[in-house]
Every structure is written in structure tokens, then in C-alpha cells.
Amino acid sequence: MRGAGMGAKAIRYSPWVMHFNAGACNGCDIEVLAALTPFFDPERLGVKLAPNPRHADVIIVTGALNKKAAERLRRLYDQTPSPKFVIACGACAISGGVFTDSYPVISRADKVVPVDVYVPGCPPRPEAIIYGIKKLLDKLGGHLESSAR
């Protein structure tokens, strides 16, 4: 995993998540939004929504990535300081979903930026999104396990 090391350890207790809609149908976006509210309470894992790419540790990408949004995603990724991780959220960001053969879409987030965790679903449930973030934290060196000891 890229960026793993001392820097990655630094974010494992409190990753700041930025959400970028790269041509999604809003389905994933409202679920990401729902996942970040108290009903599902990701703050128990230290997860917080970052408004700005320069503050973010994790980028959640949703949507089928049309060409214009893909350029933006690349720019946002370059603006995010290392260590940085990407979660591809939803069927569209993973493989294009129903938009696979459409002319304006690139249809895979990993063609534009390196992706660490894939969360499938159309759209994924908020629990699944939090589980995806948790998986990422586990990869960074055991989040809850290490704190429980």
C-alpha cells in the first residue's frame, strides 16, 4: 500500500474524509452523507468530513467518472497531502455500473487515481461505507484492535 509507514500510522485514529462526486447519480452521495451523520456515527472511528482536499486523508469517490470530472478528481488527488488513500464507492466508481458503455464516462476510478478500498453496491449502504473505511484503517495497522490491545 502506498503511503503506508509512519505517516499512515498518524492518520489511523482520525482519518478526515473528503467526498467527491465524479458524475454519480446522487444515490451514493446521499448514502455517503447519511453515513457521516449521527445515526451511523462514524466519529466513533474518528472519521470526520473534511471540506477541503488539503485537509483530507481519505477521498471517497462516487460516480461513473465522466471525462470532465476525472480531470478534477486527478487535480484534487494531487492537492491532497500524503499519506492519502482513495475509496471507490459504488458500482459506478468500481466498474461503471449501468453507465459502463456510455460515451462520456471513464467508468473506473482506478484508471484515474490509485484506489485502496472498493465498496460495492448500487448504492452501498451507509454501514458498508463505514465498513470500507474501517477496512482501510485496519490495513493501516489495526485500528480498533490496536487500541483495544
Partner 1 sequence: MVIVEIPIGPQHPALHEPIMLKVKTDGEEVVEVAVTTGYNHRGIEKLLEKNSWIRGMYIAGRVCGICNAVHTQTYVQGVEKLMGVEPTPRANYIRTMVMELERIHSHMLICAVMAEIVGFDTLFMLMMRDRERVMYLKELITGSRVHADIHVLGGVKRDVDEVRRARILDELRKIEERLKYYKKVYESDYTLIRRLSEVGRISKSDAIRLSVVGPTLRASGVKSDVRFDDPYAAYSEIPFNVEYRDEGDSWARMMVRLDEALESVNIVRYTVEKLPQGPAVPKTIPRAAKPGEVISRVEAPRGELLYHIVSTGGSNPYRVKIRTPSFLNILNTESTYLGHRLADVPVIFASYDPCISCTERVVVVDEKSGRKAYVSLKELARGG
Cα–Cα nearest to 113, from 13, 31, 27, 22 = 22
Instruction: Report the distance separating Cα 10 and Cα 91, nearest Å.
Output: 30
Q: For residue 32, what is the enclosing H or E element?
A: helix 27-35
User: Both ends of the chain: CA-CA distance in Å?
Assistant: 24
106 binds partner 1 (CB under 8 A): no
144 binds partner 1 (CB under 8 A): no
46 binds partner 1 (CB under 8 A): no
Answer for which of 47, 76, 112, 137 binds partner 1 (CB under 8 A) is 76
Answer for which of 21, 95, 120, 134 binds partner 1 (CB under 8 A) is 21
Binding site for partner 1 (CB under 8 A): 18-31, 33-34, 37-39, 51-53, 63-64, 66, 68-69, 72, 76, 97-99, 101-105, 122-123, 125
